[in-house]
Structure 1
């Protein structure tokens, strides 16, 4: 191969590899859980959309250590009773 062709081949190989790499593992395995008890067995502090913030009232501290995954949240959105983008948040 010539020196000019090597960078072209390298770029093409990297671009092909980027297409074949699977999505984030949590997003790829977006399981729907029956209820919050079942979800807490795997995700103890709940799941939320990326960029979501737990909304609370009074002196209660918001949950900040929930798992962030858009796909997991969408699969379990029914468990987000206060519609703050975090399902099954646990204190």
Structure 2
């Protein structure tokens, strides 16, 4: 499967990313049932305050994130992040 890179070139999407069914979840409770630590786009990092540790175990899939980015309240590229 081909995807467009930021510069307009084509790159291969990972087989795992290509095989995921893209679903828009009603809310974070529903999303976290399937993706325990949330969903993020490629290259995203959880934004945290204070001494809280960032969530790094979220599922990475840009298309799935884009379908659910309404649930990314802090706009850090990770929707429904949870420890």
Same fold (TM over 0.5): yes
Higher strand share: 2
TM-score bracket for the superposition, by shorter chain length: 0.7 to 0.9
Greater fraction of residues in helix: 1
Q: CA RMSD in A?
A: 1.4
Partner residue in 1 for 2:35: 43
Runs of 4+ in 1 over 4 A off after TM superposition: none
How far, CA to CA, are the matches of 1:90 and 1:25 in structure 2? 24
TM-score under structure 2 normalisation? 0.78
- Rg larger for: 1
- Structure 1 stretches of 5 or more lacking a match? 1-20
Provide TM-score, normalisation by structure 1. 0.71
- Structure 2 runs not aligned, ≥5 long: 1-14
Between the two proteins, the alignment pairs up a number of residues equal to: 68
